[in-house]
Amino acid sequence: MTISYHSPERLNDVQFVNKHLEILNAWHNEGDVIEVFFESKSQRKKRLLNKWIWPFNYIYYTLDFVLKRLFPKWSPTLKIYFWITKGRNRVFSLPEILGRVCSCGFEIIRYYEKEGSTFVQAKKVGNPPYNADPTYGILIKLNRIGKGKRKFVVYKFRTMHPFAEYIQSYMFDNHNLKDGGKIDNDFRVTSYGRIMRKLWLDELPMIWNMFRGDMKLVGVRPLSEHFFGLYPEDMQELRTQTKPGLVPPFYADLPVTLDEVIASERKYLQAYLRRPFATDWRYFWAAFYNIVIKRARSN
């Protein structure tokens, strides 16, 4: 493999990271391979804690975390953050950098750690989409496919690292699926995000989607284009005959494999098209029993 470009500086010190990656995209032809590097947040934590003696190392790390991790994610403090740091020495997680690279028209080949940095090799596969409204804060907007194959925006609280949605295909190709059809050991999910998912706090904003008419109370999960494309064509047609729902049939049937998830949804949709109200009533209380009594959780 021939690498046509090696980054001379780490991405943490590039003020406008995505603009930098978009310029690299414009400089190269499809199929060209670039290599960029950065210090990940875990590498940064290790470096800072080793830099000072206890307890000063943890005091310094806490202040660094507040300024470099929390301030950029909250709009009232975002300007303060950039005023102080000028966008230099930023903190990035591995999923965020992989996502930023993919969002700028590249495909991840591999990444590896060396001398306290993480190196990413990526191949140009197309032009950047130039997303003018990327999701970075606590509340995120995700494109989903609804009734009649109409695309709509789902609102959720963030449980993944920023830009992690751009490596959906990469994760599917390089990681196994666990019970319930989701990605196993999904390192895109943050530690607090795992807690929010267990308590369904991340899905509270989706109630707004129900009031807007995009979704209903009971129904199949709203899927991204990538996951929607994994379904058989007949299921794609069946899925888009109804609105997706907040309470999926998963909690009524508790399927394990992706094939079982699809079979569960097929059974629900066929029943719903025959008797809409009775089917949703039955599935709601079956899901309620499994969640409250049997403590069922999504994987």
**Whether residue 150 is found in the same domain as residue 286:** yes
The confidence score (pLDDT) of residue 274 equals 97
Alpha carbons 236 and 264: distance in angstroms, whole number: 14
Number of domains comprising the chain: 2
Alpha carbons 221 and 239: distance in angstroms, whole number: 9
The confidence score (pLDDT) of residue 134 equals 60
One-letter amino acid identity for 110? R
C-alpha radius of gyration, the chain, whole number: 22
Please state, rounded to an integer, the average pLDDT across all residues of the chain: 89
**Whether residue 11 is found in the same domain as residue 111:** yes
**Whether residue 150 is found in the same domain as residue 282:** yes
132 part of a folded domain:
no
Choosing from 96, 124, 152, the residue where a domain stops is: 124
Q: Which residue has the tokens 């994994």?
A: 230
**Whether residue 147 is found in the same domain as residue 260:** yes
Over residues 37-87, the pLDDT tens digits come to: 999 999 999 999 998 899 999 999 999 988 888 888 777 888 888 888 888
**Whether residue 158 is found in the same domain as residue 256:** yes
**Whether residue 75 is found in the same domain as residue 165:** no
Residue 198 or 110, more confident: 110
93 part of a folded domain:
yes
Alpha carbons 244 and 222: distance in angstroms, whole number: 5
Choosing from 75, 90, 124, the residue where a domain stops is: 124
The confidence score (pLDDT) of residue 191 equals 84
Measure the CA angle with vertex 157, ends 152 and 162; round to 5°. 90
130 part of a folded domain:
no
Over residues 98-137, the pLDDT tens digits come to: 999 999 999 999 999 999 999 999 999 999 876 655 666 7
153 part of a folded domain:
yes
Q: Tell me the β-bridge partners of 33.
A: 123
**Whether residue 111 is found in the same domain as residue 213:** no
The confidence score (pLDDT) of residue 135 equals 61
CB 78 within 8 A of CB 72: yes
**Whether residue 158 is found in the same domain as residue 288:** yes
103 part of a folded domain:
yes
**Whether residue 233 is found in the same domain as residue 112:** no
The confidence score (pLDDT) of residue 140 equals 85
Alpha carbons 289 and 269: distance in angstroms, whole number: 20
For residue 82, give both structure tokens.
């950039």
Choosing from 69, 93, 124, the residue where a domain stops is: 124
**Whether residue 195 is found in the same domain as residue 110:** no
What is the residue range of 86's domain?
5-124
One-letter amino acid identity for 83? W
**Whether residue 107 is found in the same domain as residue 182:** no
Three-state SS letters, the chain: CCCCEECCCCHHHCCCHHHHHHHHHHHCCCCCEEEEEECEHHHHHHHHHHHCCCCHHHHHHHHHHHHHHHHHHCHHHHHHHHHHHCCCCCCECHHHHHHHHHHCCEEEEEEEEECCEEEEEEEECCCCCCCCCCCCCCEEEEEEECHHHCEEEEEEECCECCCHHHHHHHHHHHCCECCCCCECCCCCECHHHHHHHHCCHHHCCHHHHHHHCCCEEECCCCECHHHHHCCCHHHHHHHCCCCCEEECCHHHHCCCCHHHHHHHHHHHHHHHHHCHHHHHHHHHHHHHHHHHCCCCCCC
Contacts of 31 (CB under 8 A, 6+ apart): 123, 124
Contacts of 204 (CB under 8 A, 6+ apart): 157
Q: How confident is the model at residue 211 (pLDDT cuts 50, 70, 90)?
A: very high
Residue 135 or 220, more confident: 220
**Whether residue 32 is found in the same domain as residue 157:** no
